[in-house]
Amino acid sequence: MGKTAVFVLTVLNSLGENPGEGSCLVLAHTRELAYQIAKEFDRFSCNLNYKTMVIYGGEPIEDQIDKLRADKPPIIVGTPGRVLALTRKGILDWKNNRIFILDECDKMLKELGKLNF
């Protein structure tokens, strides 16, 4: 929780009063980690008016598209595959993105076979 709290609090402090849709993207290598990170955003932003959405594979993409269009969350936490799919479909627009975080980047790269640890 320590490192997650550090970047979550930093993001929340940096967003300002009216962040646009997709102002912050956090990529996590597993859906479980993405969900945990989103819960931390919800926990620390309980007195703020920021919406956080977690997106990952294994859930119907149409449901996530509907929720993204309805909620327009400034904070999106997701896994690389689903974020890429939604970006390629033109659903996610990153023109407002100001903050990009790769959580456990070494594990993402290891899964791609790019690094040997």
For the chain, list the domains and their CATH numbers. 28-101 (3.40.50.300)
pLDDT the model gives residue 114: 59
Radius of gyration of the chain (CA): 14
pLDDT the model gives residue 62: 96
Element (H, E) at 75: strand 75-78
pLDDT the model gives residue 109: 72
The residues near 80 (Cβ < 8 Å, ≥ 6 apart) are 27, 29, 108
Give the C-alpha separation, 80 to 27, whole Å.
Answer: 6
Residue 48's pLDDT band, with cuts at 50, 70 and 90, is confident
| Sequence letter at residue 109 | L
Residue 54's pLDDT band, with cuts at 50, 70 and 90, is very high
pLDDT the model gives residue 20: 80
